[in-house]
């Protein structure tokens, strides 16, 4: 049987756990709603968001948001990609014709997702 002190500790631990879960849910919501901005000042070839530190992927010299994109989607009869700020960017006919979803090649710079 638990002592009075142990029962109090158990309640405090359970309350702290609930608060932690609530804080994690709040954090995850904020990150999912973040209008990401790529950190282009980093010397690395990959980048994170300067607002929330989410990993965004490889830097891309040709992409409007400076991040490689590998998955094309269709929206309102247009094929394109969702940029890191969640906006839809339609692709040109050339980008669409060169796209191959099996290769995991960036639709903007044609670099592979798997890099050395």
Q: Taking the domains of the chain in order of start, what are their residue ranges?
A: 1-33
DSSP run (H or E) holding 75: strand 73-75
Q: Are the CB atoms for 81 and 72 separated by under 8 Å? A: yes
Return d(Cα 55, Cα 97) in angstroms, integer.
29
Q: What pLDDT score does 113 carry?
A: 80
Q: What are phi and psi of 75, to 5 degrees?
A: -145, 125
Q: How far apart are CA 69 and CA 56, in angstroms?
A: 10
pTM above 0.85, yes or no: no
- DSSP state letter for 5: H
Give CA–CA dist 85/52, Å, rounded.
Answer: 12
- Whether residue 115 is predicted with pLDDT greater than 80 in this model: the reply is no
Residue ranges in the chain assigned as alpha helix (H): 4-32, 93-98
Is the pLDDT reported for residue 102 higher than 70? Answer: no
Q: What is the pLDDT of residues 66-86, one digit of tens each?
A: 999 998 888 888 899 999 998
Alpha-carbon span 82 to 78, nearest angstrom: 12
């Amino acid at each position: 049987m638990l002592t009075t002190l142990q029962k109090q500790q158990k309640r405090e631990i359970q309350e702290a756990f609930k608060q932690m879960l609530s804080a994690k849910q709040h954090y995850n919501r904020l990150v999912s709603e973040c209008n990401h901005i790529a950190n282009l000042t980093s010397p690395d070839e990959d980048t994170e968001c300067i607002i929330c530190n989410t990993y965004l992927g490889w830097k891309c010299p040709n992409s409007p948001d400076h991040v490689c994109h590998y998955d094309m989607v269709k929206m309102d009869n247009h094929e394109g990609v969702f940029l890191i700020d969640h906006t839809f960017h339609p692709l040109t006919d050339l980008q669409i014709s060169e796209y191959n979803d099996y290769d995991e090649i960036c639709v903007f710079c044609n670099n592979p997702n798997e890099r050395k």
